[in-house]
Amino acid sequence: MENRAWDLVSHMTLEEKISQMKYDAPAIPHLDIPEYNWWNECLHGVARAGKATVFPQAIGMAATWNQTLMKEVAIVISDEARAKHHNFEKNGKRNIYQGLTFWTPNINIFRDPRWGRGQETYGEDPYLTSRMAVQFIKGLQGDDPKYLKVVATAKHFAVHNGPESSRHSFNAQVSNYDLYNTYLPAFEASVKEANVASVMCAYNRFRGDACCGSNLLLQKILREKWGFKGYVVSDCWAISDFYMKEYHHIVDTKSAAAAMAVDVGTDLNCGVTFAHLKEAIEKGETSEATIDTAVFRLFKARFQLGLFDDPEHVKWAHIPYDVVASPKHKQLTLQTARESIVLLKNDNHTLPIKKSTKSIAVIGPNANSYRVLLGNYYGTPTSYSTPLQAIMKKTNDSIEVKYAEGCEIAPGIPPFRIISKNNLYVSSETGAESGLQGTYFDNPEFKGQPAFTRTDTTINFTWVGKTPVTGKEADSFSVRWEGMIKAWKTGKYIIKATGINKIRLFLNDSLHYGFEGRDEPGSKTTEVELEGGKAYPIKIEFVSYGSDPQMHLSWAIPGQDLIKEALDIAKKSEVIILAMGLSPDLEGEQMPVKIEGFDGGDRTDLDLPDTQKELIKNISKLGKPTILVLLGGSSITFNFADAHIPAILHAWYPGEAGGEAIADVLFGTHNPSGRLPLTFYKSVTDLPEFDNYDMTGHTYKYFDGPVLYPFGFGLSYTSFQYKNIEISNNQISSDIPIEVKVNISNTGATGGQEVVQLYLRNETSDEPVPIHSLCGFKKVYLNAGESKVVTFQLNPETFGVINANGDKILDPGTFTLFAGGCQPGVFESRSTSGKTVQSKLYYKGKKTIILD
């Protein structure tokens, strides 16, 4: 592959080589090089490219603590990725989100729960993140000795985890101890163990240097110390930050920015700055030899993917398209969602819901939300289940189920509902047909004769798999909907249009808003005063350029008493289920949201929004069996609910099967086994400032105060007991692994999965050390009354500590190992897994040993 790549590079002109260093690389016909777009996403399923199996968001997958399952998920995702790519290619499509190079996984440490993108990570612990990342990358890239299945990309390198609002200008400063003990281990494991083919450098600066221009990160550590042989891609438009005055502004010109990035090893530009590389060479800022090396790395990856070989010889090219969203894949996402759910509280055996229950009230802004299933960076499921839908299906009319939204998800974020056919009319005449007239074109410019015209009763379309005009996937088209809109009562309405890629909305013959260029669902709103019973002209123009066309027209209706509606049905029901938490409309990547508790995609407070807290307080006064189901991408503070609601579970952003998984746990057809991959704090005031990257006071390893729920915590419907931790040799050697065994028994009345967690404490080091650190975990299933011996292998490096130079050293000392179903000494009274068992061991070497 390397020889072929170098040979191909040798036949290119300088201009051709530079053209291949941007994410949307053009074709070079005389060399038979087709165009290729490097930008693709598969964080928890193939994203933004039409139909796909949508798994729980990454933080939810981390909550499974199941490495085997993690690899199975990645194999499914890469199967769908290959099938979709070859289907696109067969139809002559080589656009964004259609290639085989995926900018996944995000393995930054979830240092602070305020970070909106923490949902994309595997939590706050470097060891858990490393183990999950290695399995995910291996599952994506495949096991073929010659060809990569897809390219995985470990991101964002490095020391990157918010705030979103300052990511283009922030300069992270951390000690060598924190750098090598917290921020780099997952990247090192991805390179050394998983052979990740690509790394994405981050937006921010590190120790003064932009991460995409950092010699320390990209040369000294990544390539020289770890031996990375793949290519580096910039985060999108990160290199522009080098010269922009409002951002890093570490150089003055575009050519200097491009040269700085490529000289330290950034090979591919998601952006446009590398277009100035020829100018940089002419100025002597970089050399053509440097360009050659970058282009060689890029083409080596394309050769490794088999993109220049006969598909007959590439086994990954034969995966059939019908695997996409197949029943087998859907079953795996259901299993993953089930295993991700964390049961936090279950007083008085409130759960599972009793079979004798006759009526249930399902209440909350997340109870029937499609968006809250998905998180961010998601594909389009062919089917899905919200909690409400799944509960109604589960009860199958045997239990009366009533629903109310209950409250706004946050102050100023009203509930939106699809505008129904009863409020839309083709014309203003009496007896006019309900809906809007849709005129469909087979091009994105509304040109020529329409392909067809029809009446659409509502504008609520997710065209999964096939576009409505040609019936093919990813064909461009446009639609113009026209007619009248009529409100039932007078008041201020907020009308929202959500879609991909371009929308313009006209109301009363004037343009109210338009937006375009989004490759994921974007939305805009307009507030209008409507007179009840009066019809107003409305027109919507919609254009789709890509492979995931969607269009939804909704509104927020004035004058609703949401809490009263909720209390009315709650009073008439035996059991109350509250579906609350966060939403991808509130937290995520660099968002325009700025309301109380939320800022630019991040959070300023960890509490549930005030609207939700008020609803919970009102419901709790009823004194009825109540279950709080939290959804969201991070830890949440809910001190009042914890004190007053008997049963609480966290379901994250659970994917397309999330509702069914939640219902399975609520009704006891699945025994919950998820464990928290991050700490749930009592208050945001317990944390250091958000932009303080020093690990002191962050995560379970360095926070020594009381918490709401600790890292690693989770309950079961059964109970487990630990006994007899055994260590093969309590005298540590510098070159012999230590075997640790622990006996676990299921002492309850039902079978269940337990996450056996192994923690290490260094009792004597003179260097800074964590309170304790996760060093092993295994998920096991035990039938009622069954016992198993679980075995761990610990390398001597496990017992090393990072010194001021960033070296890992093994000093003489005493260590304690703890095995159990949770952390040692924290909230064990809440855990049905019993107390941890522990044992000491020693290293009596007479000198410090540096561990490579």
- Catalytic residue list: 235, 587
Bridge-based pairing state of the strands 359-363 and 575-581: parallel
Close Cβ partners of 342 (under 8 Å, ≥ 6 residues apart): 63, 649, 650, 672, 674, 675, 676, 713, 714
Closest among 673, 119, 658 to 367, alpha carbons compared? 658
Residue 830 burial class via C-beta count within 10 angstroms: exposed 0-12, middle 13-18, buried 19 and up: middle
Radius of gyration of the chain (CA): 28
- CA–centroid distance for 180 within its chain: 24
Q: What b/e string do you get for 147-177 counting C-beta neighbours within 10 Å, with b at 16 or more?
A: bbbbbbbbbbbbbbbbbbbbbbebbbebbeb
Dihedral sign, CA of 381, 122, 41, 254? positive
At CA 666, angle to CA 663 and CA 669, rounded to 5?
75
How far apart CA 197 and CA 140 sit, in angstroms, is 11
How far apart CA 461 and CA 458 sit, in angstroms, is 9
Pinpoint the alpha helices (H) of 746-851: none
Residue 222 · residue 191 · CB < 8 Å: yes
CB atoms within 10 A of CB 851: 15
Dihedral sign, CA of 666, 668, 669, 672? positive
Residue 451 · residue 458 · CB < 8 Å: no
Beta pairing partners, 773: 760
Beta pairing partners, 577: 362, 627
Sheet holding 575-581, edge to edge: 342-346, 647-650, 626-631, 575-581, 359-363, 400-404
Closest among 111, 112, 81 to 98, alpha carbons compared? 81
How far apart CA 239 and CA 711 sit, in angstroms, is 36
Place of tokens 């009381």: 706
Identity of the amino acid at 569: I
Close Cβ partners of 592 (under 8 Å, ≥ 6 residues apart): 600
Identity of the amino acid at 73: V
DSSP string spanning 179-192? IIIIISHHHHHHHH
How far apart CA 825 and CA 831 sit, in angstroms, is 11
Dihedral sign, CA of 447, 451, 455, 460? negative
Instruction: Please report which helix (H) or strand (E) contains residue 565, including its range.
Output: helix 562-571
How far apart CA 137 and CA 122 sit, in angstroms, is 13
